[in-house]
Amino acid sequence: MINPKDMAHCVEAIRHGSRSFHAASKLLPRKLRDPALALYAFCRLADDAVDLQPAKADAVLQLHERLDLAYAGRPRNAPADRAFAAIIEDYQMPIALPEALLEGLAWDAMEKRYATMSELRSYSARVAAAVGAMMCVLMRVRDRDALARACDLGVAMQLTNIARDVGEDAREGRLYIPTEWMQQAGLTPDAFLARPRMSDDVHGFVDRLLREADALYVRSEAGIGVLPASCRPGIFAARYIYAGIGGEIQRLNCNSMDHRARTSTHQKLGWLALSITRTLGTMAMPRSPVVHARPLPETAFLVDAAADHGAAEHGWSDALYGTLAGLKARDVARRNAALQQ
């Protein structure tokens, strides 16, 4: 079980670091809310640990070492690490899921760009759908259909985040818009990042991201009825709050360059109420056949990992090892270039 003092630290981290999830978590049963907040706190810690460090490869390596220690039952002496170690022990969390998250964070550190929508979904699978799969594990749900729909929801939420942050990311030199879309519009990524500004093309990119997300939000709903009844309101809430952010972006005419879409407390309360109503509907309505849709090709590896009832033995994945090696080489090159100046 998670130490109450460690749990209090995790709650505060999410209260300030992820307001949307903190709001949605209020509808989760206590037995799920605490481990879910602890999980999100560890993911938040991992994101910040890489994002705020100049030596990105070292930061990812240190995170992997922290993950190793947690799986060995000897977590680093920090609240989020101790809480995550308790989750591993209590729920048999497959290590492939947090490792996928670390790989996505390493891609961020490399400032990787994505040529196609499929590649962007692969990124979203790692940084968001992996968390959705871990949430299913916390609910003790290993059903493949439920896992596939949870991954749909994770990808949808990440695409919404990307659509909201186009301007902010561009000003920081980050690009998540598929470069194939830009080429079709006659734009080059470097030129766009050199002078990021709103245009009809950017409107089209943001609108397309939101439509991709909306289709996945709809698919994800079919899986919520497979979850334990007490967990459904909180997951519906996450779905509606994040989709609501997309609605605010649409209200701003998809102008994510000059504005950051925000939702109000009043709106969140409305979505929480709607989530309870939708949950009651799942009790009476027959299960949608959409629940049996195949997982996205980009998230299938997460479904396979989470469906395994045992925590996988630790071993560096070839993909993560290769990503880290490339990141380390880039860090060394940048350091050498700085010394020569």
Question: Alpha-carbon distance 43 to 41, whole Å?
Answer: 5
Residue 328 pLDDT:
66
Q: Is 153 strand, coil or helix?
A: helix
CA-angle at 187, arms to 184 and 190, nearest 5°: 135
Residue 196 pLDDT:
95
CB 132 within 8 A of CB 153: yes
Superfamily of domain 94-313: Farnesyl Diphosphate Synthase (1.10.600.10)
Residue 113 pLDDT:
96
CB 297 within 8 A of CB 118: yes
The residue extents of the domains of the chain are 94-313
What Cα–Cα distance (Å) separates residue 72 from each residue in 89, 118, 296, 313? 10, 35, 32, 10
Residue 313 pLDDT:
47
CB 212 within 8 A of CB 116: no
Entry field: residues in the chain: 341
Question: Alpha-carbon distance 191 to 173, whole Å?
Answer: 11
Residue 63 pLDDT:
87
Q: Residue 67: name the closest of 31, 28, 106, 33 by CA.
A: 106
3-class SS letters over 234-277: HHHHHHHHHHHHHHHHHHCCCCCCCCCCCCCHHHHHHHHHHHHH
Q: Residue 78: CB partners within 8 Å, gap ≥ 6?
A: 45
- What are the pLDDT tens digits along the chain (341 aa)? 889 899 998 888 887 766 667 777 888 888 898 898 889 888 888 888 777 677 777 888 888 899 999 999 999 999 999 999 999 999 999 999 999 999 999 898 888 999 999 999 999 999 999 999 999 999 999 999 999 999 999 999 999 999 999 999 999 999 999 999 999 999 999 999 999 999 999 999 999 999 999 999 999 999 999 999 999 999 999 999 999 999 999 999 999 999 999 999 999 999 999 999 999 988 877 788 999 999 999 999 999 999 976 544 444 456 666 676 666 676 666 666 766 66
CB 21 within 8 A of CB 272: no
pTM of the entire predicted model: 0.88
Question: Alpha-carbon distance 14 to 22, whole Å?
Answer: 6
